[in-house]
């Protein structure tokens, strides 16, 4: 199996790009608004989030690449055959940062993260039909978003 380096780089870059967009809303809020919130005892230190999300975006990108190249390596990016739910979850992922940090609205972000969790599950299910490895690479993402949803819910409860 040969690796199509440009497609792999593009796939990872698309996913990392979603994270970069979200970080524009996150970075400025961490030392200000987020620092004032009551957080649950299981909330990890702030420095954990960046490395974890970077790894998850890379895994998403590799997963995207596996599906893209498995379906038909000659298809264009626009119609690459990746199930639409992948793009939905990526948009919901970015939207969460905008809602939580950008608008400082953990309650609205909670609705988004629930929709994101469902979209990730549906992405895994659709990717599994194309590439089992692509689906498996998304399991850590689902696990982390499960944790993030619990953290988000706790922040909503602790900050009425």
Could you give all domains of the chain from N- to C-terminal order, each with its CATH number?
5-158 (1.20.1260.100)
Helix (H, G, I), strand (E, B) or coil at 81: coil
Q: Write the pLDDT tens digit of every residue in 18-36.
A: 999 999 999 999 999 999 9
Between CA 62 and CA 78 the distance in angstroms is 18
Half-sphere exposure of 112 (CA within 13 A, CB side): 22
Q: In the structure, what pLDDT confidence band is assigned to residue 77 with cuts at 50, 70 and 90? A: very low
Q: What would the mean pLDDT of 107-133 be, rounded to a whole number?
A: 96
pTM, to two decimals? 0.91
Provide φ and ψ at 15, rounded to 5°: -70, -45
What's the pLDDT score for residue 81? Answer: 58
* Distance of alpha carbon 126 from alpha carbon 42, whole angstroms: 32
């Amino acid at each position: 199996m040969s690796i199509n380096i440009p497609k792999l780089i593009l796939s990872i870059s698309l996913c990392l790009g979603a994270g970069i967009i979200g970080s524009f809303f996150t970075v400025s809020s961490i030392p200000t608004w987020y620092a004032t919130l009551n957080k649950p005892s299981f909330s990890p230190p702030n420095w954990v989030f960046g490395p974890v999300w970077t790894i998850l975006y890379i895994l998403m990108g590799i997963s995207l690449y596996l599906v893209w190249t498995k379906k038909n390596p000659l298809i264009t990016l626009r119609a690459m055959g990746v199930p639409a739910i992948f793009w939905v979850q990526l948009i919901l992922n970015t939207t969460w940062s905008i809602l939580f940090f950008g608008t400082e609205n953990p309650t609205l972000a909670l609705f988004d993260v629930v929709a994101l969790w469902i979209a990730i599950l549906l992405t895994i299910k659709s990717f599994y039909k194309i590439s089992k490895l692509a689906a498996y690479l998304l399991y850590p993402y689902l696990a982390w978003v499960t944790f993030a949803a619990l953290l988000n819910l706790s922040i909503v409860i602790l900050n009425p």
